[in-house]
Amino acid sequence: MRLVDLTDKRFGMLKVLKRADYNKGKNVVWVCQCDCGNVVDKVGNYLKTGDTQSCGCYKKRNEQTNLRDQYDAKRVDGVAKQLFKDKVPRKDSSTGFRGVSKYYTRKSKELRYRAWITVAGERKYKSGFLTAEDAYYKGRLWLEQKYLPKGDNTNA
Ligand SMILES: [Zn+2]
């Protein structure tokens, strides 16, 4: 069978960098970079059929999100949405939310969001959010409530 060159092709979160220097049986293996930053070797056929769409982090993240949502639904969501429903995030930062930045976890290099606020020249953080929206509503606005005097949270 003729080799189809998958270099630079994208499959879900994976972008093919180059062909690996080995095969798995009759299957051609490709070196792929995941959107999360991981570089992994994947069999070309699974990429083409859609069976492989990330380095494995996507599945993991969904599981974590589900667990966390169940937990938060009870504890935080109701409160946060009530408290902050009149707040509209300003879409002017790289994440689309004021006071929210992306980062990658040190060990597993997974994408996370961190909320921050500057109070009297000192920066306060709340990290570990899976989405920018969460970081804003449950992090940034929480920080505003905690650190800013009431009614003075416009320019921080
Ligand atoms: Zn990944």
CA of 122 to the centre of ligand 1 (A): 34
Residue 37 belongs to some domain of the structure: yes
Question: What residues are neighbours of ligand 1 (ion), with CB under 5 Å?
Answer: 34, 36, 38, 54-55, 57
Same domain for 90 and 47, yes or no, is: no
Cβ proximity of 130 and 65 under 8 Å:
yes
Residue 61 belongs to some domain of the structure: no
Q: How many domains, in total, are found in the chain? A: 2
pLDDT, tens digit, for every residue of 3-50?
A: 789 999 999 999 999 999 999 998 999 999 999 999 999 999 999 998
Does pTM top 0.75 for this prediction? no
CA of 25 to the centre of ligand 1 (A): 25
Residue 48 belongs to some domain of the structure: yes
Same domain for 51 and 82, yes or no, is: no
Task: Look up the domain containing 85 and give its range.
Answer: 71-147
